[in-house]
């Protein structure tokens, strides 16, 4: 079985300018859609905050304006482990095995009849 190299995808979440922290719902929906894709196996993530300095009454204040989320994942599209047409239980088993780095044996699809021929 070929090794599936980790990939990463970046998401930018805008933070509201109000005192109360509000997040961009569109970005959350994009992340949820990405993670619900059956061939994307979540491995890890990292988060950072982007800020800019603002001079406010002769003092420098840091203004946080975006949160960047990097999702590390393995993509199973166009591999023999494509999960798009498998059962929910099979998806869970394969995703867990890949996330843990375990080797997954290829299924034996040859029947007894085919072996005799």
Q: What is the pLDDT of residues 46-74, one digit of tens each?
A: 999 888 888 878 888 888 888 899 999 98
What is the distance between the alpha carbons of residues 105 and 1, in angstroms, rounded to a whole number?
A: 8
Beta bridge partner(s), residue 70: 10, 46
pLDDT score for 45: 92
pLDDT score for 46: 93
What is the distance between the alpha carbons of residues 3 and 88, in angstroms, rounded to a whole number?
A: 23
Q: Mean of the pLDDT values across residues 90-98?
A: 82
Angular region, 45: left φ>0, alpha ψ -120 to 50, beta rest = beta
Angular region, 65: left φ>0, alpha ψ -120 to 50, beta rest = alpha
Name the residue with higher pLDDT: 102 or 70. Answer: 70
């Amino acid at each position: 079985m070929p090794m599936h190299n980790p990939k990463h995808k970046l998401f930018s979440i805008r933070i509201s300018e109000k005192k109360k922290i509000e997040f961009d719902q569109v970005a959350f929906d994009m992340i949820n859609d990405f993670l619900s894709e059956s061939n994307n196996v979540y491995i890890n993530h990292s988060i950072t905050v982007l800020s800019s300095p603002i001079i406010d009454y002769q003092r420098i204040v840091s203004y946080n304006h975006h949160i960047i989320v990097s999702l590390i994942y393995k993509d199973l599209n166009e591999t023999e482990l494509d999960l798009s047409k498998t059962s929910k239980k099979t998806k869970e088993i394969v995703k867990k095995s890949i996330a843990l780095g375990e080797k997954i044996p290829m299924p034996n699809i040859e029947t007894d009849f085919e072996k005799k021929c």
